[in-house]
Amino acid sequence: MKDNTLDPRRGDSALSKKAIAARLGLIGAVVLCSVGMFAYVGGWLSSERPTQGRIMAAFEAVNGSHPGFRRAHAKGICATGWFYSNGNAALLSKAALFAPGRVPVVGRLAFASGMPFVSDQQSAVRSLALRFLPTGSGEWRTAMIDIPVFPFKTPQAFYQQLLAARPEPHTGRPDPLKMRAFAAAHPEFVAALGLIGKRNPSSGFADDTFNSLNAFRFVSQAGISTPVRWSAVPVQPFVAARASSPSGDRNGVFYALIAQVAEHPVQWHLMITVGQPGDSTSDATLPWPASRQRIDAGIVTIDKLSSEDGGPCVDVTYDPLVLPAGIEPSDDPIPSARSAAYARSFTLRESERAAKPPSAITPQEVQSGGKP
Protein backbone atom coordinates (compact mmCIF):
# COMPACT_ATOMS: atom_id res chain seq x y z
CA MET A 1 0.00 0.00 0.00
CA LYS A 2 1.38 3.36 -0.96
CA ASP A 3 1.35 6.06 1.64
CA ASN A 4 -0.53 8.53 -0.49
CA THR A 5 -3.51 6.29 -1.15
CA LEU A 6 -5.32 7.46 1.95
CA ASP A 7 -3.85 10.92 2.02
CA PRO A 8 -6.57 13.31 3.13
CA ARG A 9 -4.81 16.12 1.33
CA ARG A 10 -5.19 14.38 -1.99
CA GLY A 11 -6.77 17.05 -4.13
CA ASP A 12 -7.40 19.33 -1.18
CA SER A 13 -5.77 22.14 -3.04
CA ALA A 14 -8.74 22.06 -5.40
CA LEU A 15 -11.23 22.62 -2.56
CA SER A 16 -11.63 26.25 -1.72
CA LYS A 17 -13.33 27.31 1.49
CA LYS A 18 -16.34 28.10 -0.62
CA ALA A 19 -16.34 24.63 -2.12
CA ILE A 20 -16.08 23.04 1.32
CA ALA A 21 -19.00 25.12 2.52
CA ALA A 22 -21.01 24.11 -0.53
CA ARG A 23 -20.23 20.45 0.00
CA LEU A 24 -21.06 20.64 3.70
CA GLY A 25 -24.30 22.27 2.66
CA LEU A 26 -24.98 19.43 0.28
CA ILE A 27 -24.36 16.84 3.01
CA GLY A 28 -26.64 18.76 5.34
CA ALA A 29 -29.32 18.89 2.65
CA VAL A 30 -29.13 15.13 2.07
CA VAL A 31 -29.47 14.43 5.80
CA LEU A 32 -32.24 17.00 6.25
CA CYS A 33 -34.20 15.54 3.32
CA SER A 34 -33.91 12.08 4.85
CA VAL A 35 -35.03 13.31 8.25
CA GLY A 36 -37.86 15.19 6.56
CA MET A 37 -39.08 12.07 4.77
CA PHE A 38 -38.88 10.12 8.01
CA ALA A 39 -40.92 12.77 9.80
CA TYR A 40 -43.45 12.82 6.96
CA VAL A 41 -43.93 9.06 7.08
CA GLY A 42 -44.20 9.25 10.87
CA GLY A 43 -47.11 11.68 10.52
CA TRP A 44 -45.41 14.62 12.23
CA LEU A 45 -45.73 16.96 9.27
CA SER A 46 -49.49 16.59 8.73
CA SER A 47 -51.58 17.50 11.76
CA GLU A 48 -54.78 16.38 10.01
CA ARG A 49 -53.72 12.79 9.52
CA PRO A 50 -55.37 10.37 11.93
CA THR A 51 -52.36 8.68 13.50
CA GLN A 52 -52.54 6.12 16.31
CA GLY A 53 -51.37 8.72 18.79
CA ARG A 54 -53.98 11.29 17.71
CA ILE A 55 -56.79 8.74 17.86
CA MET A 56 -55.75 7.82 21.41
CA ALA A 57 -55.64 11.52 22.31
CA ALA A 58 -59.12 12.00 20.83
CA PHE A 59 -60.46 9.05 22.86
CA GLU A 60 -59.04 10.65 25.96
CA ALA A 61 -60.58 14.02 25.08
CA VAL A 62 -64.02 12.42 24.70
CA ASN A 63 -63.93 9.88 27.55
CA GLY A 64 -61.49 11.42 30.00
CA SER A 65 -58.24 9.89 31.14
CA HIS A 66 -58.50 6.34 32.53
CA PRO A 67 -54.98 5.01 32.98
CA GLY A 68 -54.60 1.25 32.65
CA PHE A 69 -57.94 0.71 30.88
CA ARG A 70 -58.76 -0.05 27.28
CA ARG A 71 -59.43 3.15 25.36
CA ALA A 72 -62.68 1.68 24.06
CA HIS A 73 -64.91 -1.07 25.45
CA ALA A 74 -63.38 -0.09 28.77
CA LYS A 75 -65.88 -1.68 31.17
CA GLY A 76 -65.82 -5.42 30.78
CA ILE A 77 -65.49 -8.85 32.26
CA CYS A 78 -63.46 -11.91 31.24
CA ALA A 79 -65.24 -15.03 30.04
CA THR A 80 -63.79 -18.46 29.35
CA GLY A 81 -65.20 -21.58 27.79
CA TRP A 82 -64.96 -23.35 24.48
CA PHE A 83 -66.14 -23.41 20.91
CA TYR A 84 -67.60 -26.66 19.70
CA SER A 85 -67.27 -26.69 15.94
CA ASN A 86 -69.74 -28.84 14.01
CA GLY A 87 -67.53 -28.75 10.90
CA ASN A 88 -70.04 -26.84 8.74
CA ALA A 89 -67.72 -23.87 8.20
CA ALA A 90 -64.80 -26.12 7.22
CA LEU A 91 -66.20 -26.18 3.68
CA LEU A 92 -65.52 -22.46 3.40
CA SER A 93 -62.43 -22.08 5.56
CA LYS A 94 -59.45 -24.32 6.13
CA ALA A 95 -58.88 -22.73 9.56
CA ALA A 96 -58.12 -25.47 12.09
CA LEU A 97 -60.75 -24.26 14.54
CA PHE A 98 -63.56 -24.99 12.05
CA ALA A 99 -62.71 -28.68 11.85
CA PRO A 100 -65.17 -30.66 13.97
CA GLY A 101 -64.12 -30.54 17.59
CA ARG A 102 -63.63 -28.41 20.62
CA VAL A 103 -61.37 -25.35 20.91
CA PRO A 104 -60.72 -23.39 24.12
CA VAL A 105 -61.98 -19.79 24.10
CA VAL A 106 -60.96 -16.74 26.13
CA GLY A 107 -63.56 -14.03 25.73
CA ARG A 108 -64.54 -10.66 27.02
CA LEU A 109 -67.96 -9.06 27.41
CA ALA A 110 -68.05 -5.28 27.62
CA PHE A 111 -69.89 -2.04 27.05
CA ALA A 112 -68.55 -0.28 23.98
CA SER A 113 -68.06 2.99 25.83
CA GLY A 114 -64.55 4.19 26.57
CA MET A 115 -65.52 4.89 30.20
CA PRO A 116 -64.53 2.05 32.56
CA PHE A 117 -66.99 3.03 35.31
CA VAL A 118 -69.98 4.00 33.19
CA SER A 119 -73.31 3.02 34.70
CA ASP A 120 -74.81 -0.10 33.09
CA GLN A 121 -77.70 0.59 30.72
CA GLN A 122 -79.55 -2.26 29.10
CA SER A 123 -79.85 -0.30 25.87
CA ALA A 124 -76.17 0.72 25.69
CA VAL A 125 -74.00 -0.84 22.98
CA ARG A 126 -72.25 -4.02 24.09
CA SER A 127 -69.53 -6.23 22.71
CA LEU A 128 -68.43 -9.84 22.76
CA ALA A 129 -64.77 -10.50 21.99
CA LEU A 130 -63.47 -14.02 21.49
CA ARG A 131 -60.04 -15.56 21.25
CA PHE A 132 -60.03 -19.10 19.86
CA LEU A 133 -56.98 -21.11 20.83
CA PRO A 134 -56.66 -24.30 18.80
CA THR A 135 -53.57 -26.36 19.61
CA GLY A 136 -50.55 -25.26 17.63
CA SER A 137 -50.91 -22.24 15.37
CA GLY A 138 -54.19 -21.00 13.99
CA GLU A 139 -55.29 -18.62 16.74
CA TRP A 140 -58.26 -16.43 15.87
CA ARG A 141 -59.41 -13.24 17.59
CA THR A 142 -62.62 -11.40 16.86
CA ALA A 143 -64.50 -8.59 18.56
CA MET A 144 -68.20 -8.31 17.80
CA ILE A 145 -70.68 -5.57 18.65
CA ASP A 146 -74.46 -5.72 19.13
CA ILE A 147 -75.31 -3.23 16.40
CA PRO A 148 -76.33 -4.21 12.86
CA VAL A 149 -73.81 -2.04 10.97
CA PHE A 150 -70.76 0.03 11.86
CA PRO A 151 -71.38 3.78 11.65
CA PHE A 152 -68.06 4.56 9.96
CA LYS A 153 -66.82 3.59 6.54
CA THR A 154 -63.21 4.72 6.99
CA PRO A 155 -60.77 5.38 9.85
CA GLN A 156 -60.79 9.04 8.78
CA ALA A 157 -64.54 9.28 9.34
CA PHE A 158 -64.16 7.60 12.73
CA TYR A 159 -61.47 10.08 13.72
CA GLN A 160 -63.41 13.10 12.43
CA GLN A 161 -66.42 12.02 14.46
CA LEU A 162 -64.29 11.59 17.57
CA LEU A 163 -62.96 15.12 17.05
CA ALA A 164 -66.48 16.48 16.60
CA ALA A 165 -67.62 14.66 19.75
CA ARG A 166 -64.96 16.23 21.95
CA PRO A 167 -66.55 18.30 24.69
CA GLU A 168 -66.11 22.03 24.22
CA PRO A 169 -64.06 23.60 27.00
CA HIS A 170 -66.71 26.19 27.94
CA THR A 171 -69.84 24.02 27.78
CA GLY A 172 -68.43 20.61 28.65
CA ARG A 173 -70.52 19.22 25.80
CA PRO A 174 -69.81 18.50 22.14
CA ASP A 175 -70.51 21.35 19.77
CA PRO A 176 -73.80 20.45 18.00
CA LEU A 177 -72.70 22.46 14.96
CA LYS A 178 -69.61 20.29 14.55
CA MET A 179 -71.68 17.13 15.02
CA ARG A 180 -74.14 18.36 12.41
CA ALA A 181 -71.35 19.28 10.00
CA PHE A 182 -69.89 15.80 10.39
CA ALA A 183 -73.26 14.17 9.73
CA ALA A 184 -73.83 16.37 6.68
CA ALA A 185 -70.50 15.30 5.22
CA HIS A 186 -71.10 11.61 5.96
CA PRO A 187 -74.48 10.42 4.67
CA GLU A 188 -73.38 6.82 5.25
CA PHE A 189 -73.02 7.65 8.96
CA VAL A 190 -76.56 9.01 9.08
CA ALA A 191 -77.92 5.98 7.23
CA ALA A 192 -76.06 3.60 9.56
CA LEU A 193 -77.33 5.46 12.64
CA GLY A 194 -80.84 5.03 11.26
CA LEU A 195 -80.37 1.26 11.15
CA ILE A 196 -78.69 1.20 14.55
CA GLY A 197 -81.55 3.25 16.02
CA LYS A 198 -84.05 0.62 14.87
CA ARG A 199 -82.35 -2.21 16.71
CA ASN A 200 -84.25 -3.86 19.50
CA PRO A 201 -81.83 -3.99 22.45
CA SER A 202 -81.84 -7.09 24.60
CA SER A 203 -81.99 -7.13 28.36
CA GLY A 204 -78.41 -8.23 28.84
CA PHE A 205 -75.32 -9.91 27.48
CA ALA A 206 -76.60 -13.47 27.40
CA ASP A 207 -79.58 -12.80 25.13
CA ASP A 208 -77.71 -10.40 22.86
CA THR A 209 -76.67 -10.90 19.24
CA PHE A 210 -73.17 -9.68 18.40
CA ASN A 211 -71.98 -8.98 14.85
CA SER A 212 -68.55 -8.85 13.24
CA LEU A 213 -69.75 -5.87 11.16
CA ASN A 214 -66.59 -5.97 9.09
CA ALA A 215 -66.28 -8.37 6.20
CA PHE A 216 -63.49 -10.90 5.98
CA ARG A 217 -62.69 -13.68 3.56
CA PHE A 218 -62.81 -17.36 4.29
CA VAL A 219 -60.34 -19.39 2.25
CA SER A 220 -61.05 -23.07 1.71
CA GLN A 221 -58.60 -25.93 1.40
CA ALA A 222 -59.03 -25.66 -2.36
CA GLY A 223 -58.09 -21.97 -2.23
CA ILE A 224 -61.60 -20.65 -2.88
CA SER A 225 -62.08 -17.26 -1.22
CA THR A 226 -65.56 -16.34 0.05
CA PRO A 227 -66.60 -12.98 1.53
CA VAL A 228 -68.17 -13.46 4.96
CA ARG A 229 -69.44 -11.66 8.01
CA TRP A 230 -70.32 -13.44 11.20
CA SER A 231 -72.49 -13.14 14.28
CA ALA A 232 -72.84 -14.71 17.69
CA VAL A 233 -76.54 -15.54 18.06
CA PRO A 234 -77.67 -16.38 21.60
CA VAL A 235 -79.14 -19.70 22.59
CA GLN A 236 -80.74 -17.90 25.55
CA PRO A 237 -84.19 -16.51 24.69
CA PHE A 238 -84.40 -12.82 23.87
CA VAL A 239 -85.83 -10.49 26.49
CA ALA A 240 -86.33 -6.87 25.50
CA ALA A 241 -84.35 -4.24 27.36
CA ARG A 242 -85.98 -2.01 29.92
CA ALA A 243 -85.26 1.66 29.94
CA SER A 244 -83.57 1.61 33.31
CA SER A 245 -80.95 -0.72 34.69
CA PRO A 246 -82.27 -3.69 36.72
CA SER A 247 -82.41 -2.81 40.40
CA GLY A 248 -80.92 0.53 39.41
CA ASP A 249 -77.44 -0.76 40.09
CA ARG A 250 -74.44 0.77 38.31
CA ASN A 251 -73.27 -2.72 37.41
CA GLY A 252 -76.70 -4.32 37.12
CA VAL A 253 -76.27 -5.75 33.62
CA PHE A 254 -72.98 -7.39 34.58
CA TYR A 255 -74.41 -8.72 37.85
CA ALA A 256 -77.29 -10.28 35.94
CA LEU A 257 -74.84 -12.04 33.62
CA ILE A 258 -72.70 -13.24 36.53
CA ALA A 259 -75.77 -14.67 38.25
CA GLN A 260 -76.86 -16.34 35.01
CA VAL A 261 -73.49 -18.00 34.34
CA ALA A 262 -73.23 -19.10 37.98
CA GLU A 263 -76.43 -21.05 37.38
CA HIS A 264 -75.85 -22.31 33.86
CA PRO A 265 -73.30 -21.77 31.07
CA VAL A 266 -74.40 -19.30 28.37
CA GLN A 267 -74.12 -20.11 24.68
CA TRP A 268 -74.08 -18.55 21.27
CA HIS A 269 -74.26 -20.02 17.79
CA LEU A 270 -71.42 -18.78 15.62
CA MET A 271 -73.31 -17.91 12.44
CA ILE A 272 -71.34 -17.26 9.24
CA THR A 273 -73.12 -15.04 6.71
CA VAL A 274 -71.98 -15.78 3.17
CA GLY A 275 -71.65 -12.72 0.95
CA GLN A 276 -72.74 -12.68 -2.67
CA PRO A 277 -71.28 -10.72 -5.56
CA GLY A 278 -72.42 -7.15 -5.10
CA ASP A 279 -72.42 -7.29 -1.30
CA SER A 280 -70.02 -4.64 -0.13
CA THR A 281 -66.99 -5.98 1.69
CA SER A 282 -65.28 -2.59 1.89
CA ASP A 283 -68.09 -0.66 3.59
CA ALA A 284 -69.22 -1.83 7.03
CA THR A 285 -71.96 0.83 7.11
CA LEU A 286 -73.94 -1.19 4.55
CA PRO A 287 -75.94 -4.21 5.70
CA TRP A 288 -76.02 -7.34 3.60
CA PRO A 289 -79.45 -8.53 2.51
CA ALA A 290 -81.24 -10.57 5.18
CA SER A 291 -81.74 -13.36 2.64
CA ARG A 292 -78.04 -14.27 2.59
CA GLN A 293 -77.14 -17.85 3.45
CA ARG A 294 -76.12 -18.27 7.06
CA ILE A 295 -74.04 -21.24 8.16
CA ASP A 296 -74.14 -22.39 11.77
CA ALA A 297 -70.46 -23.12 12.45
CA GLY A 298 -70.92 -24.37 16.00
CA ILE A 299 -71.58 -23.22 19.52
CA VAL A 300 -69.56 -20.96 21.78
CA THR A 301 -70.08 -21.86 25.43
CA ILE A 302 -69.06 -19.57 28.28
CA ASP A 303 -69.02 -21.37 31.60
CA LYS A 304 -66.81 -19.12 33.69
CA LEU A 305 -66.56 -15.40 34.24
CA SER A 306 -63.82 -13.51 36.01
CA SER A 307 -63.05 -9.94 36.83
CA GLU A 308 -60.66 -8.20 34.49
CA ASP A 309 -58.36 -7.71 37.44
CA GLY A 310 -56.24 -10.82 37.26
CA GLY A 311 -58.55 -12.29 34.63
CA PRO A 312 -57.36 -14.12 31.52
CA CYS A 313 -58.61 -11.48 29.04
CA VAL A 314 -57.13 -8.33 30.51
CA ASP A 315 -53.88 -8.59 28.60
CA VAL A 316 -55.46 -9.67 25.34
CA THR A 317 -56.02 -7.26 22.48
CA TYR A 318 -58.99 -8.52 20.53
CA ASP A 319 -57.17 -7.52 17.38
CA PRO A 320 -59.39 -8.39 14.41
CA LEU A 321 -56.32 -9.10 12.29
CA VAL A 322 -55.11 -11.99 14.43
CA LEU A 323 -56.37 -14.48 11.88
CA PRO A 324 -55.54 -18.11 11.22
CA ALA A 325 -54.63 -19.39 7.77
CA GLY A 326 -58.09 -19.79 6.24
CA ILE A 327 -59.42 -16.38 7.31
CA GLU A 328 -58.12 -13.28 5.56
CA PRO A 329 -58.86 -9.57 5.71
CA SER A 330 -61.12 -8.14 3.01
CA ASP A 331 -60.81 -4.69 1.46
CA ASP A 332 -62.63 -3.24 4.48
CA PRO A 333 -60.29 -0.54 5.88
CA ILE A 334 -61.71 -0.68 9.42
CA PRO A 335 -60.07 -3.89 10.74
CA SER A 336 -56.63 -2.49 9.99
CA ALA A 337 -57.52 0.67 11.93
CA ARG A 338 -58.89 -1.38 14.82
CA SER A 339 -55.75 -3.51 14.83
CA ALA A 340 -53.55 -0.41 14.94
CA ALA A 341 -55.63 1.36 17.58
CA TYR A 342 -55.90 -1.72 19.80
CA ALA A 343 -52.14 -2.23 19.63
CA ARG A 344 -51.54 1.36 20.69
CA SER A 345 -54.18 1.18 23.39
CA PHE A 346 -52.57 -2.02 24.68
CA THR A 347 -49.13 -0.42 24.85
CA LEU A 348 -50.55 2.57 26.70
CA ARG A 349 -52.51 0.58 29.25
CA GLU A 350 -49.68 -1.84 29.92
CA SER A 351 -47.32 1.08 30.58
CA GLU A 352 -49.92 2.62 32.92
CA ARG A 353 -50.44 -0.59 34.87
CA ALA A 354 -49.13 0.84 38.14
CA ALA A 355 -51.63 3.70 38.04
CA LYS A 356 -54.69 1.57 37.23
CA PRO A 357 -57.51 1.59 39.80
CA PRO A 358 -59.49 -1.64 40.34
CA SER A 359 -61.93 -2.44 37.54
CA ALA A 360 -65.66 -1.81 37.98
CA ILE A 361 -66.41 -5.52 38.36
CA THR A 362 -64.15 -6.91 41.09
CA PRO A 363 -63.13 -10.54 41.65
CA GLN A 364 -65.25 -10.56 44.83
CA GLU A 365 -68.36 -9.53 42.91
CA VAL A 366 -67.87 -12.34 40.40
CA GLN A 367 -67.25 -14.82 43.21
CA SER A 368 -70.35 -13.83 45.10
CA GLY A 369 -72.41 -14.61 41.99
CA GLY A 370 -73.19 -11.07 40.93
CA LYS A 371 -73.81 -9.22 44.15
CA PRO A 372 -72.07 -5.95 45.03
Partner 1 sequence: MSSVSPRFSLPSRLMHWLMAVLIVAMLFIGVGMAASVSQRYSLLVSIHKPLGMVILVLVAIRFANRLFNNPPPLPANLPLIQRLAAHASHMVLYVLMFVMPLLGWSMLSAEGYPIVLFGSWQLPPILPQQEAVYAVLRRSHTILAYVLFVAVMMHLAAALYHGLIRRDGVLESMASWRGK
d(CA 312, CA 78): 6
Tell me: does residue 8 bind partner 1 (CB under 8 A).
yes
Q: Looking at 50-58, 225-233, 269-277, 293-301, which segment touches partner 1 (CB under 8 A)?
A: 50-58
369 binds partner 1 (CB under 8 A): no
Tell the smallest beta-carbon distance from residue 3 to partner 1 (Å).
Answer: 8
- How deeply is 13 buried, as exposed, middle or buried, from its count of CB atoms within 10 A (0-12, 13-18, 19+)? exposed
Determine, following the binding rule CB under 8 A, whether residue 324 of this chain makes contact with partner 1. Answer: yes
Cβ-based nearer residue to partner 1, 262 or 286: 286
Report how far Cα 276 is from the mean position of its chain's Cα atoms. 25
Marked catalytic residue, from 66, 73, 170, 264: 73
Q: What angle do CA 143, 144, 149 make, to 5 degrees?
A: 130
Candidates 145, 147, 192, 337: give the one binding partner 1 (CB under 8 A).
337
SS3 content of the chain, % helix, strand, coil (to 5): 35, 20, 45
Stretch that binds partner 1, among 22-30, 81-89, 166-174, 293-301 (CB under 8 A): 22-30
How far is it, in rounded angstroms, from Cα 34 to Cα 220?
Answer: 45
* Least Å from the CB of residue 127 to partner 1: 19
Crossing angle of helices 334-351/155-164, nearest 10°? 60
DSSP category for residue 324: -
What residues numbered 136-195 form the site for partner 1, per CB under 8 A?
Answer: 137-139, 155, 159
Determine if 339 is a binding residue for partner 1 (CB under 8 A): yes
Catalytic, 170? Answer no
User: Dmax over Cα atoms in the chain, in whole Å?
Assistant: 94
Q: How far is the CB of 253 from partner 1 (least distance, A)?
A: 28
d(CA 99, CA 95): 7
Taking the C-alpha atoms of residue 309 and residue 78, their distance in angstroms, rounded to an integer, is 9
Per the CB < 8 A criterion, the answer to whether 299 and 84 are in contact is yes
Give the span between the Cα atoms of 297 and 272, in whole angstroms.
7
Minimum distance from residue 57 beta carbon to partner 1 (Å): 13
Interface with partner 1 (CB under 8 A):
1-2, 4-8, 10-12, 15, 20, 23-24, 26-28, 30-31, 34-35, 37-38, 41-43, 49-53, 55, 137-139, 155, 159, 315-317, 319, 321-322, 324-325, 329, 331, 333, 335-337, 339-341, 346-347, 350-351, 353
Point out the residues that are catalytic.
Answer: 73
